[in-house]
Amino acid sequence: MGKPLIGVMPQYNAQNENIMIVSDFFHAITKAGGIPVLLPLFSDVSDVERVLGRFDGFLYPGGPDINPLLFGEETRTECGNIITERDTLELGLMPAILCSGKPVLGICRGIQAMNVALGGTLVQDILAQRKDGGMIGHYQKAGDTVLTHSVRVEKNTLLYDIVRKERLTVNSFHHQSCKTLGEGFALNASAPDGIIEAAALENHKFFLGVQWHPEHLYGVDKDAARLWNAFIQSC
């Protein structure tokens, strides 16, 4: 068999109207043995569904906030930029992707999109909604490859099967997080303050979302490399 073809959900820079992807996503997929292909953004979802069968797996990357109306909430003042086209594409394609049973990896916004697609909800702003005194820094000021906080990995989960350890250190660039998990989306890891850091869909070959950014860590962190390798191998 040849290298697996990975359909990558596009990012979008609203300021200059560029459809794009952070290059680290493509580098990580390539280094792990896959071939990344960027999906179109400004297309009818049904048009994109026609080509899904050509892909062996899918990546949901990071990006702006998901519209809270899509998970049954009014928008708080702390909610950031919303790109309707991304919400429409990513959530609109999810039923067909789930039906295919093909592997999916979600990163940062990606785990949040996966959760909303499964009926879950989000914390719109961690600092505004989680004033519990034990908060750690989820939006670090350090560089992309700096590991700034730990996560506790649940045993007997997909993530544990990949990394084979109960504690990871990760980088972190998010102000939102999963609140209630969608149907079948099981907790795989959490931060010391209880923020959900990873979840996987039960009874699925590989449907895993993480809140940190392993795309920046592939070449410098063995656990990140294991995650990417496991994803590509599952495809």
Q: Please give the Cα distance from 169 to 150 (Å, whole number).
A: 4
Q: How far is CA 208 from the centre of its chain?
A: 8
Strands (E), 165-226: 167-170, 177-178, 185-190, 196-201, 207-210
Cα gap 22→27, rounded to integer Å? 9
Token digits of residue 45:
């979802």
Residues 6+ apart with CB under 8 A from 202: 184, 185, 186
Q: Which residue, chain included where needed, has tokens 């993530």?
A: 159
Grouping H, G, I as helix, E, B as strand and the rest as coil, residue 233 is: helix
Write out the H or E segment, with its range, that includes residue 193: none
What are the catalytic residues?
108, 213, 215
Other C-beta atoms within 10 Å of 43: how many? Answer: 14
